């Protein structure tokens, strides 16, 4: 997805659209709308992009920025429980995410082609899987560290 398209859709897909989101950003709806359409001299800046992602919980701008730079984004792991149950839970989550990715790819490719919308869904599922794998890695590391004496932990 193109960066300005991502910004436009993030703003306009927010409940109430630009009129609802703009005041939370300290802007007029008219200004915010002009910034994300790329019309005129109004510019949607990096600080605005971060604030938009944080306020909406929608990370399409972040993902489009990363893609334009040849990178991907992986959600940072939340603190993992340092026990076997935490590791098993994260393993189950990673397995579920992998199965959801497989299902999306199989469904999308069944007719012999993949549309832009299908490609976007596959991309989201792929990122969800990478995030789940990162959280699994953190849970395993946490369990490893919990079993070591304090002076040998990587703290």
Q: Looking at residue 81, what is its pLDDT?
A: 60
Percentage of residues in the chain having pLDDT higher than 90 = 64
The DSSP secondary-structure symbol of 77 reads P
Q: Looking at residue 65, what is its pLDDT?
A: 94
| Cα–Cα distance, 64 to 58 (Å, whole number) | 12
Give residue limits of the domains in the chain. Answer: 3-68, 84-152
pTM for the whole thing?
Answer: 0.60
Q: Does residue 127 register a pLDDT over 90?
A: no
87-103 mean pLDDT: 96
User: Could you give phi then psi for residue 72, rounded to 5 degrees?
Assistant: -125, 160
* pLDDT, tens digit (0-9, with 9 covering 90-100), for 17-42: 999 999 999 999 999 999 999 887 88
59-65 mean pLDDT: 93
Residue 75 Cα to chain centre, angstroms: 6
| Cα–Cα distance, 27 to 33 (Å, whole number) | 10
53-58 mean pLDDT: 95
- Dmax over CA atoms of the chain, in Å, equals 61
User: What is the average pLDDT value for the chain, to the nearest integer?
Assistant: 90
Contacts of 70-74 with CB under 8 Å at 24 or more apart are 72/127, 72/130, 73/127, 74/127, 74/130, 74/131, 74/134
The segment with the largest mean pLDDT, out of 37-41, 59-63, 129-133, is 59-63
Q: Looking at residue 142, what is its pLDDT?
A: 86
């Amino acid at each position: 997805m193109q960066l300005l398209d991502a910004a436009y859709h993030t703003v306009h897909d927010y409940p109430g659209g630009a009129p609802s989101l703009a005041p939370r950003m300290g802007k007029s709806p008219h200004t915010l709308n002009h910034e994300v359409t790329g019309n005129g001299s109004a510019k949607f800046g990096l600080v605005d992009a971060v604030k938009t992602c944080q306020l909406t919980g929608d990370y399409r701008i972040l993902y489009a920025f990363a893609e334009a730079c040849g990178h991907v984004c992986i959600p940072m792991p939340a603190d993992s429980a340092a026990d076997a149950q935490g590791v098993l839970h994260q393993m189950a989550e990673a397995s579920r995410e992998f199965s959801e990715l497989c299902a999306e790819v199989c469904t999308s490719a069944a007719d012999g082609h993949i549309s832009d919308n299908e490609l976007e869904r596959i991309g989201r599922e792929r990122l969800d899987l990478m995030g789940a794998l990162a959280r699994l890695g953190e849970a395993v590391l946490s369990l490893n560290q919990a079993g070591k004496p304090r002076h040998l932990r990587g703290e």
